[in-house]
Amino acid sequence: MNHQDVPPKPASPPPAEQHRMPAPPAEPVLHPRMEPEQGTSTQSGRVNRRMLWIAAFVVVLLAVIGSLVWLALWLNSNPVADSPRGSAPGVLETTVTPPATPLPLPREGVTPADYALGDCFKDFDPEALAATVVACDTPHSAQLVALFRYPEAETYPGAEALKAKALEACQAAKLGPAANNFALNFERSFPSTTSWESGDRRADCYVTAAGGNVINASVLP
C-alpha cells in the first residue's frame, strides 16, 4: 500500500473581522418638570425691571408733591416775612382832584407836604424845603404827576421802601399829549426821617425839564 502523502486537514478559517461603529452618546432625557424655561425667565426679568421703574417714579413723584405742599404751608405761615417793609395800605394818586394849590398863583413858600397833584413849579428843586407853585400855562420846570400817600399812623418805612413807592408812582403816571412837546424826565422825591416826623407821608413823582422853565402847559391828561 502506497502511502500517499495526505494533505493535512485544512484549519478552520479565521473568523471574519467585525467592525463596530461606536454608538452615539445617548441624549439626556429631561423630566418634563426639568425642561429649561428661558422665555419665562426673560419675561420675569422684564416685569421686575418695570416694577422697579414704576416704584422709583412713584417715590420721586411723592417727594415732589411733599415738597410743594411744604412750601405752600411755609409761605402761608410766613406772610409778613416776605412782604417788603413799608407795604402798609396807602393811596396811589394819578388823577387830579380838586382842590389843588389855592389861587391866586404864583404862590411862593409852598412846603412839600402841601404840594397837590397836578401842581406846576418854577425853578423846581426836589430837595428844597419850599417851592414856588405857578399856573401850568406859564413857564415852569416841573409838574407833580403822581404820588403815593402813606397812612398817618404808618411808621417810617425806610429810604429804600420810600424810593420804591415813588418809582411805583412814576410807573403808574398817566401823561397827556402835551408831554410829547417837551424833553422830560421822571424824578422822584420822598420824605426824610425828619420830614416824616413832621407829618410828611408822600412819595412823589415829577416830570422835569433839564432846560429849566421851558414847559408851558400841563402834561397831565
* Confidence (pLDDT) at 110: 93
Distance CA(57)–CA(60), nearest Å, equals: 5
Instruction: Encode pLDDT of 161-205 as tens digits.
Output: 999 999 999 999 999 999 999 999 999 999 999 989 989 999 999
- Per the structure block, which three cell numbers stand in for 210? 433839564
* Confidence (pLDDT) at 2: 47
Sign of the C-alpha dihedral computed for residues 86, 90, 95 and 99 taken in this order: negative
- Per the structure block, which three cell numbers stand in for 180? 410829547
Distance CA(210)–CA(57), nearest Å, equals: 64
* Confidence (pLDDT) at 145: 97
Closest CA to 66 of 76, 55, 74: 74
Of residues 29 and 158, more confidence is placed in 158
Contact between 127 and 190 (Cβ < 8 Å):
no
Please name the residues in contact with 164: beta carbons below 8 A apart, sequence gap of 6 or more. 84, 86
* Confidence (pLDDT) at 25: 52
Q: Averaged over 95-115, what is the pLDDT?
A: 82
* Confidence (pLDDT) at 34: 44
* Confidence (pLDDT) at 8: 54
Kindly list the domain boundaries of the chain, sorted by start residue: 91-209
Distance CA(221)–CA(214), nearest Å, equals: 19
